[in-house]
Structures are given as structure tokens and as C-alpha cells.
Amino acid sequence: MKRPPRQNQDLMEAITSCPHSINNDEIRLSFDPRAEGLNALDQLARRVEAALSSRSAESGKLAHLDDIAVDRFAAAMKAKLAKKRAEGRGGWDDPEQCHIDYLHQLLDDQFHARAVLDPVDIANLSMMIHQREEGDGAQSTSRCPICAEPFKDDDLCAADITEGTCHAACLEGSPVVDLETGEPTAGPASTFRFAETESTAEGSTNG
């Protein structure tokens, strides 16, 4: 089987990244005691495998059917919105003109007052509600700076020295530092429920 040129290049890089010496008639691979592997051949095999699997993981990411379908669906949504604009409709994004409850009512009507469901109309109303709720709630809803999900009262949180309050799970794997000194510390970060942040935020600086 003929390999694509990029793959050949990756393989060459995998081989030459092993400690080696090359002269006119031989390539000699050496064992690297700092790298994983049992001997020079094992280390070479690991590097080749990693080069091949990273390449195939990359090509698998190209364009998933899901993403293609969402793009097509978005195009259908945009076409429907443009048609409605041409008919003089609009104002969904303005709380003065359009109460959020009205959008919920329209979405509800789609399900209960229509003989045939129209996925594009349902999607457009869902989009409007989604966008409005992101905007309307911006002041009142605190979000985790890492995953951007709104906090729920019983979420387990930890304080990050640069990001502030985050989900404990989102911080997992980052180094634990003392929030007073910034020095790395051993042991798990202290955690708390999100509901406790309102009452403890003021008091915690006093120790």
C-alpha cells in the first residue's frame, strides 16, 4: 500500500527523533534512557505508532456528518428568517418589543397548534429563546469560566487563583496553589458548594 506523503514524513520524523547516528552505509538507533520503552527498537515502535495514530485522529476530525448536517440546517433556518424579515417580521432580540414569554408561547404553539410540525420554525424559535436567555440572564447568572455552564447551587466548586470560582471538576489536573501566596501546595484544593460562595466570599479573606 502506498502511503500518503505526509505520513511518510511523519514516519521519518518518528525515526529521526530517536537518538541515532547516520553515516554512508548505516543508521544506528540508540536507546534513550529518559524516554519510555524497553530498548531502542521498542522506543522506535512507540514513536512510529504515535505518529500514525495522531495522523489518523487528525483526518477523522475533518468534517463529521453531524457538523455537515448542522451547517445545512442552519442554512435552512437563515433562509426562513430572511423570508420572515422580507415580510416585515423582526424584533425578537429586543426585550422592549418582544417579551421572552411571548417567544415561549410561540414555540409552544408550534407543538400544540399546528397539524404538521415544522422543524425549521421550531429551530428558529428555539434559537431566539436560547439567544435571549443567554443575554437576559447575563447579569444574574454566574458561569464557570472554564466550561461556561451556569452554576447550580449544589455544584461542587473550587477557587482558581486567576479564574476565580470554577467547577472543581473543571480544575481537576491543574496544580493546586495557595490562594494567599500563589505557592504550589500538596493535597487537594478545598472545595465548596456554589450556594456557599455568596456567604463565604466576603469572609474568606479574613482567614
The footprint of Zn ion (CB under 5 A) covers: 144, 146-147, 167, 170
Cell numbers given for 93? 432580540
The nearer residue to Zn ion, 128 or 189, going by C-beta atoms, is: 189
Helix, strand, or coil (residue 158): strand
Shortest spacing between CB 135 and Zn ion, in angstroms: 21
Measured between alpha carbons, how far is residue 58 from residues 30, 35, 65 in Å? Answer: 30, 24, 15
The nearer residue to Zn ion, 126 or 174, going by C-beta atoms, is: 174
Helix, strand, or coil (residue 26): coil
Helix/strand/coil (H/E/C) assignment for every residue in 74-113 = HHHHHHHHHHHHHCCCCCCCCCCCCCHHHHHHHHHHHHHC
The nearer residue to Zn ion, 120 or 146, going by C-beta atoms, is: 146
Residue 161's nearest CA partner among 181, 188, 140, 186 is 181
Shortest spacing between CB 192 and Zn ion, in angstroms: 14
The nearer residue to Zn ion, 92 or 151, going by C-beta atoms, is: 151
Shortest spacing between CB 170 and Zn ion, in angstroms: 3
The nearer residue to Zn ion, 39 or 141, going by C-beta atoms, is: 141
Shortest spacing between CB 168 and Zn ion, in angstroms: 9
Residue given cell 547516528 in the structure block: 21
Shortest spacing between CB 124 and Zn ion, in angstroms: 29
Helix, strand, or coil (residue 29): strand
